Amino acid sequence: MFLYSKNSIFERIKRNPESIKKIFCQKDFNDENLLKEIKNANIPVVFKHIPDGQFKKFSNRTPKILAEVKDFQYMPFKEIINLADDKKPVLIFLDNITDPQNFGSIIRATGCLGDFVIIIPKQRACEVNETVLAVAEGGENYVDICRVSNLTYSIIEAKNHGYWIMGSVLNKGTSIFKTSFLFPLGIILGSENKGIHQNLLKYTDLQVSIPMAKASLSFNVAIAASIFCYEAIKQKNK
């Protein structure tokens, strides 16, 4: 796997330098701060002229730096739900999120806000790939991601460990601005087109909507995730 933005590489060096195998730079790359971080982390770096076409295999932005990294490591779900009550993070269950742009944006938002864990299923879902990491801009270093065989079973398991489960729905839910969040909390987010599958909705303790003041349009799932996560952190930190 490759990282191909300065922000992604910088954050990976700060948080997980051992996952970086090697860094490739164009000969004219001159970001002194980043080069200093690379040197301090003792990461092998190769300076050479790399044809634009070769860089374009990884990015249409033709960057001047690439980092070859180890395959992404998912966090075992059981390690998360078995945490002590005072250390339980907010769980974000992603149902049928297949677009890497949305997935990467959700990772970036949760990484910025903190105290979240993302759970994705192995089937009918986008995995963590190079496009996702490019959009996340290093956010993957600040949020654990679990990949489970069955999302339904994982939600049930979370409930058995004391989690309250909230479902984000387009309409007919309680307004997010009038809802008291209950912790420890799990939030289910569905795709923009299909929403949350009915077999998951039946396990929710409450269903919540983002009210639309004007146009009755649905938010992009990444935007909806940011709103729900911001409200969750705001209420949790009261």
* Amino acid 146: pLDDT: 98
**Is 145 in the same domain as 37?**
no
Q: Are residue 62 and residue 121 in the same domain, yes or no?
A: no
Q: Which of 46, 69, 92 is the last residue of a domain?
A: 69
pLDDT digits (tens, 9 = 90+) for 3-31: 988 999 999 999 999 999 999 888 888 89
Instruction: Give yes or no: residues 110 and 163 share one domain.
Output: yes
pTM, two decimals, is 0.92
199-228 average pLDDT score? 89
pLDDT value of residue 218:
72
Q: What pLDDT does 213 receive?
A: 74
Structure tokens at 226: 């940011």
Q: Are residues 176 and 145 in the same domain?
A: yes
Q: What is the token pair recorded at 233?
A: 């952190």
Same domain? For 172 and 63 the reply is no
Q: What residues pair up with 218 in beta bridges, in sequence order?
A: none
Q: What is the Rg, in whole angstroms, of the alpha carbon atoms belonging to the chain? A: 19
Residue 92 shares a structural domain with residue 210: yes
Q: What is the CATH number of the domain that holds 40?
A: 3.30.1330.30
- 82 and 50 fall within a common domain: no
Q: What letter does residue 29 receive in the DSSP assignment? A: -
Q: What is the reported pLDDT for 70?
A: 97
What is the residue range of 15's domain? Answer: 2-69
Say whether both 117 and 225 belong to one domain.
yes
For residues 94 and 101, what is the distance between their CA atoms, to the nearest angstrom?
14
Say yes or no: 60 and 98 in one domain. Answer: no
Cα angle 61, 57, 123; round to 5? 100
Instruction: Give the tokens for residue 176.
Output: 């997010």
Q: What is the CA angle 125-234-126, rounded to 5?
A: 10
Structural domains of the chain, count = 2
> What angle is formed at CA 237 by the lines to CA 235 and CA 238, rounded to 5 degrees?
65
Q: Average model confidence (pLDDT) for the chain?
A: 91
* Final residue of a structural domain among 69, 99, 128: 69
* % pLDDT > 70, the chain: 92
**Tens digits of residue pLDDT in 48-85:** 766 656 555 555 555 688 899 999 999 999 999 999 99
User: For residues 154 and 195, which has the higher predicted lDDT (pLDDT)?
Assistant: 154
Give the tens place of pLDDT for each residue, 126-165.
999 999 999 999 999 999 999 999 999 999 999 999 999 9
Whether residues 140 and 173 fall in one domain: yes
Q: Which residue has the tokens 């949760």?
A: 110
Q: At 87, which CATH number? A: 3.40.1280.10
